[in-house]
Amino acid sequence: MSRVRCAKFVLICVVCWLTQSAALRLQAEEVSQETYGEALSKRLGLPVVNLDVDGHRAFVILPDEQKQATPQPWIMYAPALPAYPDASEAWMQRQFVDAGIAVAGIDAGEAYGSPAGCEALSKLYEQLVERRDFARKPCLLGRSRGGLWVTNWAVEHPEQVAGIAGIYPVFDLSAYPSIAKAAPAYNLTETELQRQLDKHNPVARLQPLIDARTPMFMVHGDVDEVVPLESNSAAVAEKFKAAGAGDCVTVKVIAGQGHNFDEAFFHCQELVDFAIARAKDGAK
C-alpha cells in the first residue's frame, strides 16, 4: 500500500472513530437523561419532563393539562442533584401539581450557591419564562443546601421572586458545607472565600430581600446539628426583624428534630400552602 493510500486509510479510520465516539457520547447522554427522568418519576410517582438547559440537565414536573395555566405558576427547586428531589418529597410535590403548580430545577452540581450555580438557575428561568410561558415570579424552594442556591439567586433577582420556602435551609456557608468545602465551587481558595464571605454568604446578603419585603417560610428542627437553626433560619428571621420586616418571615420550629426525613418537614401543610399561594401570586 502506498504512503498516500495508507494516509487516506488512516484518516478514514480516524473520522469513523470520531463519528462513532460522538454517536456513543450522544447515546450515553440520552440514556443518562432518560434514566434521570425515569428515576425521578419513579421516586415521586409523577411524570417528569427532561430538559437540557445550556448543557445542564434539568427537570420540570407539570400539573395535569386541565390544571395548567398561562402564565404557568411554578416553584424553582434546589438542589436538583441526581438524588433530589427524593421519595420523601413525593407527598409535597403531589400537592404542588394538584394545585396547578409546576416544579422545576437544574442540576448545576455541588454549586453551593456560587455564581456558576446562580447562572444555571438564571438559564433555567430564562428558558421557562421566555420560551414556555412560565410566570415571571416563581416561588423558590430550597431544601438543605438548596437554600444557598435559591437565596443567592433571589438576592440578585428580588423583583423575580414571589417568595422563598425552605426545609431546614442553609443560609450560612460557614455552617454548611464549611468554607473549605465550598471554596472550590466558588473558584476561590479557602482563604479567599473567607475574606470575601460577606459578598457570597446568603445570611450576609439579605438587604435586597428585606427591601423587597420578600415573604419567606422555613421549617427547621431545633436540634439540627448539620444545619443549625440559630445560624441559618433563625438568623434570617432576626435580620428581617431588626430591619422592621419581621412580619415577612415565618420559621416553624420542629421540637426535638434534627436534619432528617421526619414527616414534620416533608408533610408540612403550612409550607405547602405558603409555596402554592406565593407561586399563584407570582403568576398574577
Give pLDDT, residue 34.
54
Give pLDDT, residue 284.
97
Averaged pLDDT in 10-residue chunks for the chain of 284 residues: 45 38 34 69 96 95 98 99 96 99 97 98 98 98 99 99 99 98 98 98 99 99 99 99 99 99 99 99 98
Whether 86 and 155 have beta carbons less than 8 Å apart is answered as no
Give pLDDT, residue 23.
33
- What is the C-alpha separation between 130 and 109, in angstroms, rounded? 24
- Residue 212 sits at φ, ψ, to 5 deg, of -85, -5
- Domain 46-282 belongs to what architecture? 3-Layer(aba) Sandwich (3.40)
Domain boundaries, given as residue ranges, for the chain: 1-44, 46-282
Whether 100 and 63 have beta carbons less than 8 Å apart is answered as yes
Q: Which grid cell sits at 111?
A: 454549586
